Structure 1
Amino acid sequence: MYEIYLVILFFCLVLSFINEVARCKYLGIYFIVVFISELLIYFEILNRNNYDWLNELYTVFFCWYYLIEFVKKSELIFVTLILLIVGYLFINERQNLVIIQASVYILVTANWFYRQVKSTNEVPIYKKLNFWISTSLLLWSCVYIFRILPSYFFANEDINFLENTINIIYQSMVILSYLIFLKGLCCKQ
């Protein structure tokens, strides 16, 4: 399954440089970092503990990504800074830090969706790159939260179910999220 994920990431990387809108939003930088880090982890040059700083990097990138989309930049900066400060001060476990990341993604994507619904224009929402990026991040965030919360219970009660079933569902949703990214990278708006 990991190989499928890497292939989809590679296509996202290529399209992020072909698509002019994605190039202007620097999505290629995001996909270069993700693809190279995942390749290094796949070939065991890096270990999975590197996800901690990578997740922080991804969170900062998408906060910046949405920052350039918002008219009222101060509110996004404020909410993001508060969440990141709370994360650094009070969160000691990796799982909790990623819950902060998922929460930030939910906030910025929900804000983007709200603004799109509030101020409609002539371009249908499904033809916009940001619609697909936001949908992908929202899907990943919700699935991650639903994966991590029961893991505390299943780690004690049914480790086999946790390691097999829940992880397969999560990996499938990550692949679906990047397929949604891929669809978005085909948009011209």
Structure 2
Amino acid sequence: MGTLAVIYQIVITLLFLYSIFLGGIHKNIVQKYFFVYLLITNAIELLSFIGRSYLDLSTNGIIYNCYSLFCLCFFYFFYSGSFVKKSRFIFLGLFCLALACTAIFTNFLKFEYDYRIGIVLALFYICSALFWMGYRIINVDNRKITAHPRFWISVGLILWSSFFILRSIPMYLFEKIDEEFQKMLRNVFYIVNIVFYILFFIALLKSKNTPDKNEKPAL
């Protein structure tokens, strides 16, 4: 495991522990979402590490295929709780479209990771983040948009998704990719992941300072 991979693992572990700490002090729906996401993410990374290190698995693709489906559902519920009426219905349509594309155009039961699932997820992330930002700009409340935890998550999702799509393009355009180029992409992606979770940490801080106690989960 490289240095960036170790740093990434430390960051998500510390975030998970911090979310547990916050959960004992401030209890609101947004922080519960954060706890669940970080719990599953840490569990997936642990399973992946065990698979590579002790079970001699060359790929953990099916684990990440399932994780991508979890993320798709998770961020639907995460954002949907902040919408009302027509906006929530439109967002539900976006979610159903993403599920349909996953079911029709991908093979999420493959042992190897299907990058088409990741592309669907990345596009859903970008659309969800932009939809939330547009909704918040139109429906102004008594807080700055940067005071909302979802703002920082949205920025992180757009950053992560944009790079993921750019990273995936060479894998479709070229049959074989230079090993050094692959290594560079992998390292840059670790950096992007670390930046994303730094933004996640800011969102955790915002959820502590301005708890969204009135928001309802999407059911």
Q: 2:214 corresponds to which residue?
A: none
Match of 1:78 in 2: 93
Distance in 1, Cα, partners of 2:43 & 2:31: 21
Q: 1:163, 1:89 → 2: CA distance?
A: 29
The residue aligned with 2:154 is: 134
Q: How many residues align?
A: 188
Q: In the alignment, what sits opposite 1:87?
A: 102
Corresponding position: 1:52 with 2:65: yes
Q: Which structure's CA Rg is the greater one?
A: 2
Deviations 1:97-123 (A, max 9, x none): 110011111111110111122222331
TM-score where L is the length of structure 2: 0.78
Query: How many angstroms apart in 1 are the aligned matches of 2:205 and 2:174?
Result: 39
**RMSD between aligned residues:** 2.0
Query: Which 4+ residue blocks in structure 1 deviate beyond 4 angstroms?
Result: 21-25
Partner of 1:68: 81
| Structure 2, unpaired ranges of 5+ | 108-112, 211-219
SS state of the match for residue 62, structure 1?
A: helix
Deviation track 1:131-173 (CA, whole Å, cap 9, x = no partner) reads: 11111111111110111012333553x4224311111111110
Residue number among 180, 184, 200 corresponding to 1:181 in the alignment: 200
Change in Cα spacing, 1:112 to 1:56, as seen in structure 2 (3 Å) is: same
Give secondary structure in 1 for the equivalent of 2:205: coil
Alignment check: 8 A CA contact 1:154 1:161 kept: no
Change (3 A) 1:122 1:133: same
1:28 and 2:35 correspond: yes
Structure 1 pair 160–126 and aligned structure 2 pair: CA distance change class (3 A)? same
Measure, in 1, the Cα distance between the counterparts of 2:203 and 2:31. Answer: 14
**Consecutive unaligned residues in structure 1, runs of 5 or more:** none
State yes or no: 1:99 paired with 2:119: yes
Q: Residue type matched to 1:15 in 2?
A: Y
When you count helix as a share of all residues, which structure comes out higher? 1
Percent of aligned pairs sharing the same letter? 22
